Amino acid sequence: MSSQLDADKWVNEYGDMLYRFALPRVNDKEVAKDLVQETFLAAWRNYDNYKGEISEKNWLFTILKNKIIDYYRKASTRLTESLSGADDGDSFFDEDSHWAKRAYPQDWNIDYNQPIERKEFYEVLNKCRQKLKDIQNAVFTMKYLDGLDSEQICKELNLTASNYWVLIHRAKLQLRSCLEKNWFTS
């Protein structure tokens, strides 16, 4: 009976917190929910090993972070196909590697020094991120949400530096273009 109570407490106290941490990182509601569920399961099964050195909350977050990294790593095993897509960045440039006419960046007519504190901007950004390949999104997220540098990301995902720069470069080209179409000029 006490386990019933603890399960309730865990899920109600930490469930949303963990979910909101996972969601922007995997950018998929189902995946985020599954990762939270797996986190609770792993914690539940290993509760005997929990020494109480860190708070229960931090312990759960540590488990979740590892689950997210595992999820990213699965995406990085499909790296070859991610790097070979022809429409993946090359389409922004012509045969001389200058901007293709159809891809010329437009002026967004904003103050580029001001932060954009608009919920709608982030909604569009998330929609645009959904069009990225999983591994591009992983690299982008680790860089900007977790503030990791290229060496750390390469180590975590087992990438070479040159693969990393290709992935982040393409992710940015695509996001910039998608934001322009769906936010700044719509």
Question: What does the binding site for other proteins look like in residue numbers (CB under 8 A)?
Answer: 3-4, 7-8, 10-12, 15-16, 19-21, 23-24, 29, 33, 36-37, 40-41, 44-45, 92-93, 96-99, 104-108, 110, 112, 115-117, 119, 121-123, 125-126, 140, 144-145, 147, 149-150, 165, 168-169, 172-173, 175-176, 179-180
Query: How far is residue 139's CA from residue 130's CA, in Å, rounded to a whole number?
Result: 13
DSSP state of 175: H
- In the bound complex, what is the minimum distance in angstroms from residue 68's beta carbon to other proteins? 13
Looking up tokens 């196909």, which residue turns up? Answer: 81
Q: Which is nearer to other proteins, 50 or 93 (CB)?
A: 93
- In the bound complex, what is the minimum distance in angstroms from residue 61's beta carbon to other proteins? 13
- In the bound complex, what is the minimum distance in angstroms from residue 168's beta carbon to other proteins? 6
Q: How many CB atoms lie within 10 A of CB 9?
A: 11
**Among candidates 136, 134, 130, 128, which has minimal Cα distance to 164?**
136
Q: Which is nearer to other proteins, 134 or 170 (CB)?
A: 170
Looking up tokens 């595992």, which residue turns up? Answer: 70
Q: Which is nearer to other proteins, 32 or 75 (CB)?
A: 32
Q: CB neighbours of 68 closer than 8 A, spacing ≥ 6?
A: 22, 25, 26, 35
